[in-house]
A = this chain, B = another copy of it.
């Protein structure tokens, strides 16, 4: 199945915001993620396919993504154009408390290419709901990234480990995991 050339496949960019570069978040994998997002964004714009930006507007007291903070701004690599659709959310899933599902259905969009931050939190939550709501999802491994975490058991897991295993749990059940090059050359 190749839906990357389909006019009705939207590129969904999740939480690509400056506050997620804060050093307090710890070690992150895949420093090339933003460059790959930018390559996909340029391709979607060139093909005039739909682009949707999701902005996290945190209500947590100590979040770098609170709406009044500079960290709420989109990263330079993926700044929305005025005509591109943007939804703001306060929780992890891009589908909760937003008009995203309604917008996709009204626009005849049945397939999504998902990129953004972070793999295991907002990207995973949004991918799972997209799939459960009936949308077809390609999730781009090299255009997403995760931070290191400590488990409930105190064990430490690197960003790369968190990223890979969360993708393994999503792949085949909620989405097809692919990479940027496959989407750009049409083989995905």
Given A92-B132, A128-B125, A152-B171: A162 and B165 within 8 A (CB)?
yes
Chain A 112-140 interface residues, beta-carbon cutoff 8 Å to B: 120-121, 124-125, 128-129, 131-133
Contact in complex: B173, A121 (CB < 8 Å)? yes
Does residue A86 face the partner (Cβ distance < 8 Å to B)?
A: no
Interface residues of A, count at CB 8 A: 34
Answer yes or no: A91 CB below 8 A from chain B CBs: yes
A152: chain B residues within 8 A (beta carbon): 141, 167-168, 171, 177-178
- Residue A62 at the chain B interface, CB threshold 8 Å: no
Q: Does A68 contact B (CB under 8 A)?
A: no
- When distances are taken between beta carbons in the complex, the residues of chain B under 8 Å from A178 are 152
Question: Given contacts A149-B169, A157-B165, could you give 18 more A-B pairs where the C-beta distance is less than 8 Å?
Answer: A91-B132, A92-B128, A92-B131, A92-B132, A92-B173, A93-B128, A93-B132, A96-B129, A121-B169, A124-B128, A125-B128, A141-B152, A151-B165, A152-B177, A152-B178, A153-B164, A155-B168, A166-B169
